Structure 1
Amino acid sequence: MRLSTFTAPGRFWRGNLHTHSTRSDGVLPPEEVCRRYHAEGYDFLALTDHFVGRWGYPIVDTVPYRTAGFTTILGAELHSGAMANGELWHILAVGLPADFAPSNSPDFVPRPDQETAAEIAERAVAAGAFVAIAHPQWSGLTLADARAVTAAHAVEVYNHGCATGCDRPDGFAIADLLLTEGRRLSMIATDDAHFSEPDHFGGWVMVKSEENEPGALLAALKRGEFYSTQGPELRDVRVEGDRVIVESSAVGSVIVQGWGTGAKGVHGHSMTRTEVPLDRLLNSPWLRVSVIDAAGKRAWSNPFWRDVAGGNPRHA
């Protein structure tokens, strides 16, 4: 079985899915945020300012900042309902229509008559968005919280702003627990850039698509045809018998993770084709791959399911 991420037609496009500007609590205007991502070699950007009344429920029009080689996807970070810790939910929604109806979220304080996180996530998916549970570790998210948002396509497993700002970048624990319970999710790495600290250009997605165009990119995201990275490249992931074959840029570790405690790593120097035996993972219904280079930078495949051709059961 070869992952559809690597067999789908088209090429990989580099993009950031979580970004802020002066339209909410970022420090740069939208046009400068877009300029910087374009200048740094990104192919696309989703500007996702905070969708609260304090800033007029912004879904920022970034269409004027598109060029022949750079596109944008409209989106927002949605806030509605309280988590178990009493704080307001953060839901990333990429691909929202410009007229997406506001929730009753005037600020970052939960209100008793708000939509729940599950309800606003379902509404965003129905409106055409790719939806992710944002920064679980930073939010203090519990597994019960995460279980409730059944419409989400993905979990944000690495957030660069949370890494640089508070050393809480992780979402893998929540994502792996949901996977083990049978949820079929993908995983994204993002910046969550505000440009108030070194929170930018540190984690991104590589989306496989025939076109660098919002509709095509969104469809590929929903199908899970992408991987996430801090720099290393994934070039192929496939299952052959009792092993996973990983082709990548030069790395020192390749690790396959699965159900429960199942994991197996292979370590070396400048590895570009690595075979990982599945002796500890033979009964795992899902697998995912991490690679780590000599500088400690990582890349992550999406989880893939062994009962589905191409590994990914999601459809746009």
Structure 2
Amino acid sequence: MTLRDPAFTAPGRFWRGNLHTHSTNSDGVLPPEEVCRRYRAEGYDFLALTDHFVGLWGYPISDTTGYRTNDFTTILGAELHSGAMANGELWHILAVGLPPDFKPSNSPHFTPVAGQETAAQIAQRAVDAGAFVAIAHPQWSGLTLEDARGVTAAHAVEIYNHGCAAGCDRPDGFAIADLLLTEGRHLTMVATDDAHFSEPDFFGGWVMVKAQENTPESLLAALKAGHFYSSQGPELRDVRIEGNMVVVESSAVVSVIAIGWGTGAKGVHGHSMTRTEVPLDRLNGSPWVRVAVIDAAGKRAWSNPIWREAGANPRRG
């Protein structure tokens, strides 16, 4: 039996986009129009401007509809903040596809206050309002597994954050994501910039979304369905499980790694590999398998998990 990542079976084509960006409407350096212009000039198909949803900046959901063109679209969103993590700091929840009238939380600044919503509550509210929701930058936030377990409405975990790579060398979300997968959570994985343009935090991580149209509605539906992969540069063209092998078709890479629960992983290495077979014997019977590829420049791309048990993955929203 063959199991294929649905990103490569869904109808449509791939669109490149960044889901996490800031402007002068919160703590970014550039105004929204210039942020959108730069992403379009760089060849992106879409952008979500996700300014910080706190009272300090008037709870902005930045209106980028005026910067859409025939070949570039925008999705409204925000980075939501409410409730304290175990370390006492405020939560960061990425919400893409919010309505412009999304009700503000009681988050006057970046410090938790008594009586405000929990992260679980505001994430659920965002999902109920139609958003694609991701747990932002777990490593940078100091997120614990117990923290992450509580946000059950999230569709995804931010597994690479380019701003956190540039600013503090804490870009990673894989540990939290893999532990949640191991507990049975059906989550996807997003790479983002978190660009503020105050340092080289832009054009470093993105999603490739398979959709029939480059419209906010079509892109959001595809994100929620898991029809995407994440990248720093390499292209994924197919990821499928055939028997006890994962087959990966990609742009030229030097390493292809299949990853599962616990210590389960197996890499195949070579030169300019475009079709690679990785045996799954060393994945310890993991019910899910995800793939990472690495090119000669050290740039990576990541698939979403493929679940090996029968039945479709549950999706929210």
TM-score (norm 2): 0.98
- The answer (yes or no) to whether the contact 1:4–1:312 under 8 Å persists in 2 is no
Aligned to 1:17: 19
SS across alignment from 2:176: helix
Look up the match of 1:117. 119
For residue 43 of structure 2, the aligned residue among 16, 41, 44 is 41
> Any gaps of 5 or more consecutive residues in structure 1?
none
Which amino acid counterpart does residue 29 of structure 2 have in structure 1?
V
Report deviation, 1:281.
2.2
Q: Secondary structure at the match of 1:105?
A: coil
Q: Which amino acid aligns with 2:183?
A: E
User: 1:98-113 maps to which residues of 2 (within 5 A)?
Assistant: 98-113=100-115
Q: Does 1:166 align with 2:184?
A: no
- Per the alignment, residue 29 of structure 2 pairs with 27
CA contact (8 A) 1:93 1:131 kept: yes
1:196-211 residue pairs with structure 2 within 5 A? 196-211=198-213
1:79-136: CA deviation from partner (whole Å, max 9, x where unpaired) = 0000000000000000000000000000001011100000000000000000000000
| Percent identical residues | 82
Residue 63 of structure 2 corresponds to: 61
1:92 maps onto 2:94 in alignment: yes
Task: Give the distance between the partners of 1:238 and 1:170, measured in 2 at CA.
Answer: 25
- Is 2:232–2:301's contact at 8 Å kept on the other side of the alignment? yes
Hey, what's the Cα distance between the residues in 1 that align with 2:76 and 2:306?
Answer: 28
**Code of the aligned partner of 2:304:** N
Give the secondary-structure state (helix, strand or coil) at the position aligned to 1:280.
helix
CA contact (8 A) 1:242 1:282 kept: no
Equivalenced residues, count: 315
Following superposition, the deviation at residue 4 of structure 1 comes to 1.2
* CA distance in 2: counterparts of 1:80 and 1:8, whole angstroms: 35
CA distance in 2, matches of 1:119, 1:286: 28
Aligned pairs for 1:140-289 (under 5 A) are: 140-281=142-283, 283-289=285-291
* 2:284 counterpart of 1:314: no
Q: CA deviation at 1:306?
A: 1.1
Give the Å deviation of 1:313.
3.4
User: Residues of 2 paired with 1:308 and 1:28: CA distance?
Assistant: 48
Q: CA RMSD in A?
A: 0.9
Q: 1:307 offset after TM fit, Å?
A: 1.9
1:83 and 2:85 correspond: yes
**1:209-255 deviation per Cα after TM superposition (whole angstroms, max 9, x unaligned):** 00000011000000111000000000000111110000000000000
Tell me the secondary structure at the aligned position of residue 161 of structure 1.
helix
Match of 1:28, as an amino acid?
L
Instruction: Indicate the SS of the match to 2:251.
Output: strand
Instruction: Spell out structure 1 runs of 4+ moving beyond 3 A.
Output: none
* 8 Å CA contact retained: 2:264, 2:284: no
**Higher mean Cα deviation, 244-253 or 278-287?**
278-287
Equivalent of 1:291 in 284, 290, 293: 293
Alignment-mate amino acid for residue 254 of structure 1: V
Give me the whole-angstrom Cα distance separating, in 2, the residues matched to 1:244 and 1:129.
32
Counterpart of 1:313, as a letter, is P
How far apart are the structure 2 equivalents of 1:152 and 1:308? 23
Structure 2 residue identity aligned to 1:56: G
Unaligned 5+ segments in structure 2 are none
